[in-house]
Structure 1
């Protein structure tokens, strides 16, 4: 089973494309903005036909069963040693060697009849040939939309968009109870009144005996 990533927090937790010089996050941002459009029915419409080989797209035959069996062909992109057409922000940290700077890939299943991507996966090499089954994930349409809502700088810095909310659980022992707070304030006011009255009475008695 390949885990599906549904939001930016899920993606960050996997560590995909991190840290530099890995290029996976830049590659995924490029793909989300330039290669796919989500239509009103949530379908992932292809902006380029991967079968044409643009940007280094090529067939991925899934011989090691990295991905689920599919009747649609798989295509891989992201090998920086086999393309010079990806944007500079994707390739800028590439060393030219088989190292972490060329570790990450995107793999898609493509339906040419409908010109759309059925599935989008991210993965990474475990060695020079094989991919890592334990670091292979399916990218949901919701996550693609989240990435499309961010510019590259914010995405790489790990910022989220407004669709994700952070909740903080406050321990019961420190939670403020409105009714108890009101009662406490009234008690404090009553105590202050009593103290002031006592001070006034004492001052009056002292003044009386002095005069």
Structure 2
């Protein structure tokens, strides 16, 4: 089955890269004030909405999960890669990390005040993304917030584009196209942040973070 093969290949690739990722991304936010700002806004909105639990889906080695905890959120991380979760548990033993899938989150309907999906959809084949977005909607409480980060395609005429990711096959998305997809799942865009590529960036694509609210 194609979907199974894609997931297996991505998981295996991140398992192999986990120790390197732990080194590369530790302290990543120190030089990213805009990312810190939108994460702070996300945390404030979740707290204002009732301070429900937050899931960091595709948490990798856990550094963003830990940052959200520092911002006062009751947060836990999920990743498909057992080795990534191993790195996260070692680095942040006081936090909860689980091996799992963002297509089938092990929480009840409407249980979460927030969902973070930071560059975790980029390895999802386009035909599988609607099921992921439906799961985001399912787990969010009414009024809950989603913050989703991804690399932008070259323009509105390119809803999705394949790009050469160092670890596994990946996809870029048109921000307008993805925002429209979110609306079909009653996830209304609240704000978006578009960061232009910098000379020191590994990939010269726009980075987009969409903030949405469940109706």
Q: Aligning the two structures, in what range does the TM-score lie when normalised by the shorter sequence?
A: under 0.3
Greater gyration radius: 1
Greater strand fraction, Structure 1 or Structure 2? 2
> Which protein has greater RCO, CA pairs closer than 8 Å, 6+ apart?
1
- Per the normalisation by structure 2, the TM-score is 0.27
- Per the normalisation by structure 1, the TM-score is 0.27
